[in-house]
Amino acid sequence: MDAVEKYMRRAFELAQLGLGTVSPNPLVGCVVVKNGKIIGEGYHQQFGGPHAEVDALNSIKDSSLVKGSQVIVSLEPCSHHGKTPPCADLIIGNEVGEVYLSNIDPNPLVAGKGVEKLRNAGITVNTGILEKEGSFINRRFFAQIIKKRPYIILKWAQTQDGFLARINNDSKWISDSYSRKIVHKWRAEEDAILVGTNTAFHDNPTLNVRDWSINKNQSQPVRVVVDKHLQLKNDLNLFQGAQPTICFNLKKNEISGNVEYVKLNDQDFLQSMLNELHSRNIQSIIIEGGAKTLESFIKNNLWDEARIFESQKRFVEGIASPKIEGSLISQNKLKDDTLSVFINNS
């Protein structure tokens, strides 16, 4: 493997350590190399905190090594004053010799200006290193900036014979405890979780992270429920506690404790809901069902990724699981279930 690609893969590994804590910022990792050896590395750890380049340069004990080094960073260094000073200036000030990056930052405040600043200062900049892998790691950030909506992850569990729930709406115990733990890990990684009215009513989910630890920089995801006619009782689990909760409906705008009721028009309900979430800086959302809700996202081609557990159980009859067309990117046998992940290429 090309040495630069090897360092970039390390930058990607570091970048992903920020999952769940940097949104709505991008995931960024950075490696500093001198004479073929990594002398420093870092990543963007928390929203508003130091950027990856700062973290990596700060990790170098012997600052005399920095001059003439190579900086390998997964996303273009910023050129503007945001919550922190521009990373391009830091790289220039440290007299770094060469910069390698994977993706240009699509944020209009940067969008090539970081590269331009570095080149104007005489630094050689190589772009597009493992570009496809880089965009996949930052797929949430890219969706937020380019599609102007959250990155949408559909998730469900189905039986071997293709059912999401029994006729009586019981969907318990399709997936095993191992798969359910993974779902809690995913909840810790995304900004929000959404369910439809019937799921909120029949399953009474809590929609929080309980079966996975969250660190001190993380918060519980925002809970989102669709309840057009405000039929759901407010003693349901998802309305309880301090976790921020949004209830999209057709009747009222109101804030009541942790619950924000947001009134939408019936036309373009789904798109308006995504616009509202985007305006609240929600970068990613997991759609946790039920069938009608998942199907509405599929029908409108408003999804990016689908994670489907298939158990070995059979219900014979029940609520059919959604049908999806996408590219299968992974399929793994877990404990008792098989997890298939699709991405939407259309």
Ligand X SMILES: NC(=O)c1ccc[n+]([C@@H]2O[C@H](COP(=O)([O-])OP(=O)(O)OC[C@H]3O[C@@H](n4cnc5c(N)ncnc54)[C@H](OP(=O)(O)O)[C@@H]3O)[C@@H](O)[C@H]2O)c1
Q: Which residues bind ligand X (CB under 6 A)?
A: 156-157, 164-165, 169, 171, 174, 195-199, 202-203, 226, 228-229, 269-270, 288-293, 296, 319
Judged by beta carbon, residue 246 or residue 319, the one nearer ligand X is 319
Contact, 134 vs 97, CB < 8 A? no
Judged by beta carbon, residue 102 or residue 197, the one nearer ligand X is 197
* DSSP secondary structure of 255-286: EETTEEEEE--STTHHHHHHHHHHHTT--EEE
Q: Which residue shows structure tokens 């600052």?
A: 63
Judged by beta carbon, residue 71 or residue 226, the one nearer ligand X is 226
Judged by beta carbon, residue 80 or residue 180, the one nearer ligand X is 180
- Smallest gap from Cβ 158 to ligand X, in A, equals 6
Residue 130 structure tokens: 């493992």
Contact, 340 vs 328, CB < 8 A? yes
Judged by beta carbon, residue 61 or residue 229, the one nearer ligand X is 229
Distant-in-sequence, close-in-space partners of 82: CB < 8 Å, separation ≥ 6 = 109
Q: In 3D, which of 322, 337, 333, 331 has the Cα closest to residue 155?
A: 322
Burial class (CB in 10 A: 0-12, 13-18, 19+), 301: exposed
Q: Which residue shows structure tokens 């399953």?
A: 203
Which amino acid is it at 69?
A: S
C-alpha to C-alpha distance for 9 and 28, rounded to whole angstroms: 12
**Which pairs from 1-7 meet CB under 8 Å and 24+ separation?**
3/36, 4/72, 4/100, 4/126, 4/129, 5/129, 5/130, 7/31, 7/33, 7/38, 7/70, 7/72, 7/100
Judged by beta carbon, residue 198 or residue 220, the one nearer ligand X is 198
- Smallest gap from Cβ 288 to ligand X, in A, equals 6
Residue 172 structure tokens: 């318990």
- Smallest gap from Cβ 197 to ligand X, in A, equals 4
- Annotated catalytic residue 13: no
- Smallest gap from Cβ 323 to ligand X, in A, equals 14
Judged by beta carbon, residue 157 or residue 238, the one nearer ligand X is 157
Beta bridge partners of 15: none
In the three-class reduction of DSSP (H, G, I as helix; E, B as strand; rest coil), residue 229 is classed as: coil
C-alpha to C-alpha distance for 326 and 120, rounded to whole angstroms: 43
Residue nearest ligand X, Cβ-based: 290
Catalytic residue, chosen from 5, 13, 41, 53, is 53
Contact, 40 vs 32, CB < 8 A? yes
- Smallest gap from Cβ 239 to ligand X, in A, equals 16
- Smallest gap from Cβ 199 to ligand X, in A, equals 3
- Smallest gap from Cβ 222 to ligand X, in A, equals 16
Catalytic residue positions, numbered: 53
